[in-house]
Structures are given as structure tokens and as C-alpha cells.
Amino acid sequence: MKKRILTGDRPTGPLHLGHYFGSLASRVELQDEYDTFVLVADVQALTDNFDNPIKVRENVLEVVKDNLAVGLDPDKATIFLQSAIPEIAELTVFFSNLVTVARLQRNPTVKDEMRQKKMEDSLPLGFLMYPVSQAADIAIVKADLVPVGEDQIPHIEQTREIVRSFNKIYGKVFPEPEAKVGEMPRLTGVDGKAKMSKSLGNAIYLKDTPEELKTKINRMYTDPTRLKATDPGHLEGNVVFMYLDIFMKDKNKLDLLKEDYKKGQVGDVLIKNYLFNEINVFLTPIREKRAAISDKMALDILKEGTDRAKLVAKETMREVREAMRLL
């Protein structure tokens, strides 16, 4: 039997380049080797969007389409909807006995999100414990590997602790999953902030049109010390060059461009044009593939995947209940 992958995305907006390099690229690459499950995490999305169910609902098919557009093959991978698998919620209840509140409060990713969403004084219980629910997402299919961005590592560590504790107390049911972080673990936002993120408004989306891409690249930070194109330029902290390092295939040309930039022989407009072309070449086939997927196709794929995940989840819960001596 093949080993399993479980990973997922919150449907709170379309997916961006940060998602691509953090997790989408590896899930596509590994879909032959692993029995791959991709979760549309609508229940988790509600933990900080409980007052905006329409937003979550509207983004479910967007996320399915993004996954298909980058090359996830529904004949190989199972794409499914979290809220349609109540077994995950059931397992979350059992798992919540195995983790302390103090441990959850130490989770650095949750802390960052709390700060960003100004939740310090009004922390919903559901939000604090979403990592427990995420552990159940992973364990319900007995996943061995979890391809994720760097920010998710604390959650995978938490998952390992929970399943270790479960296996010790009730008998071995779950493998201890490992995180697999993409080669580019954390992509900087177009504003130069540490993390590309929907909520920070600094993301390049996989579905961005050439015009949208152009606008974002024109806004991108370069070298603040440089007032004229003839001033010598700096590469450190220069977001355009950070992206060129990733997207420009001709490395010799890039090296020459860097030399010229440092000497003040090329301006920001030119380097931004290069970057636009490189990212646009990367996004064009993704955009085209996405345009060919109708809502109906995406929904059918999601339904089929959910049916399959449901069978796996039921079997896991049968074993869990037996291990826990429940009737």
C-alpha cells in the first residue's frame, strides 16, 4: 500500500504564489508516489470567519480550481471538503483531551495570527484549538506526510504530540506524520513583508490576470536609497531581485542584470519588466487550465473526493472507537 499525504487550504480567498511554493508544488510532484488527500478546510476557515460564511462558501470551488489548475490530478488525488466529514469533528473532541490549553497558547503561528487579527482580548475557543482539529484532519486519513509552508510546522509538531499520546494510551492507531516544507519555505510579499498572505494584501494570486500582475509588480519594493536610475542600486532586501532569483531561468543573464543594477546602469522599470515576463510565463498555463474548469466540474470532483474520504474516515473512526473502548 502507498503511503499517504494529507494537506489542505483554508477557503478564504484564491491561492497565491506563497501557497504554490510552500505546498502546492510538492503535492503535485508527490501525487504519483503517495496516496494524496487534499482538504478544503472550510471548518477551519470558519474559526476566524464565523461571521462571514458567504466568503468561505464562495471560496470553496476557487480553492478546488486552484489545486486542479496547478496540476493536481483528480484520478490520483482525493480532493475533499472538511465540513462534509463529521468524523473529523468527532476525532477533534477525543484529541482535545490530549493537549493542554497552555500548550495551544504557546503555538507561535496561532500567536502571530491572533496579533494580526487583533484577537488578544477576544480569543474564540474554536480558533485557539484549530490546531487540534488540524491534527484530526491529518490523522483521520492516517497520513504519513504533510506538505506545508513553514508557518504550519508548529501544527504538525502538535499533531505528532497528540497522536503519540493517543497511541500510547489507547494503542497504536496512527502514524506520526512528518512535515514536508517546500524548497522555498516562505515567500516574501510584494511589499517586502516577511510573508506573502491574503490578509496582509501583499499576495500574487495564481489566477491574477496579466494586468493585475503588472500593477502588483509596479508597486513592488526595490531599493529605497535609489532616487534616479543612474544611482548605484542595492540588491539586499530588494524584492524584485528576490523574485527574479526564483523566476528568472537564465541565471547568467540575471547575474549581468545584477551587476548593471549595482553600477546604476539599469533602472527599476527594466527589472520590473523582466520580472513581469517571467512570472507571466509561469502563470499563463495555470490561468488557462483554470479557465477550462467550470464550477460544475470542480463541484463534481469535490463530491467524488469527499465520498472517498468519507469511507476512509469511517474506517479510521471504527478503529478509534474500538481502541478507546467505546461502544
Give residues in contact with ligand TRP (CB under 6 A).
6-10, 39, 41, 44, 134, 137-138, 146, 148, 152
Residue 262 CB, shortest distance to ligand TRP, in Å, is: 37
Closer CB to ligand TRP, residue 42 or residue 268?
A: 42
Helix 295-323 crosses helix 86-95 at what angle (to 10 degrees)? 40
Please give the backbone phi and psi of residue 302, each rounded to the nearest 5 degrees, phi first.
Answer: -65, -40
Closer CB to ligand TRP, residue 62 or residue 137?
A: 137
Residue 95 CB, shortest distance to ligand TRP, in Å, is: 13
Q: What count of residues does the chain have?
A: 327
Mapped onto helix, strand or coil, the DSSP state of residue 145 is strand
Residue 295 CB, shortest distance to ligand TRP, in Å, is: 22
Q: Which three cell numbers stand for residue 128?
A: 485557539
Residue 145 CB, shortest distance to ligand TRP, in Å, is: 10
* Residue 40 to residues 46, 83, 84, 207, 271, Cα–Cα distance (Å): 12, 9, 10, 18, 37
DSSP per position, 88-105: HHHHHHHHGGGS-HHHHH
Degrees to nearest 5, angle at CA 201 with 196 and 207:
75
Closer CB to ligand TRP, residue 8 or residue 13?
A: 8
Closer CB to ligand TRP, residue 67 or residue 238?
A: 67
DSSP letter (8 states) at residue 74: T
Task: Write the CB contacts of 133 (distance below 8 Å, at least 6 apart in sequence).
Answer: 43, 44, 47, 88, 89, 92
Closer CB to ligand TRP, residue 147 or residue 267?
A: 147
Residue 247 CB, shortest distance to ligand TRP, in Å, is: 23
Q: Whose grid coordinates read 506538505?
A: 147
CB 264 within 8 A of CB 231: yes
Residue 138 CB, shortest distance to ligand TRP, in Å, is: 5
The span from the CA of 138 to the CA of 136, in Å, is 5
DSSP letter (8 states) at residue 5: E
Closer CB to ligand TRP, residue 203 or residue 244?
A: 203
Closer CB to ligand TRP, residue 155 or residue 272?
A: 155
The span from the CA of 59 to the CA of 319, in Å, is 33
Closer CB to ligand TRP, residue 6 or residue 84?
A: 6
Please give the backbone phi and psi of residue 103, each rounded to the nearest 5 degrees, phi first.
Answer: -65, -40
Residue 169 CB, shortest distance to ligand TRP, in Å, is: 23
Residue 156 CB, shortest distance to ligand TRP, in Å, is: 8
Q: Which three cell numbers stand for residue 12?
A: 478564504
Q: Which three cell numbers stand for residue 247?
A: 523566476
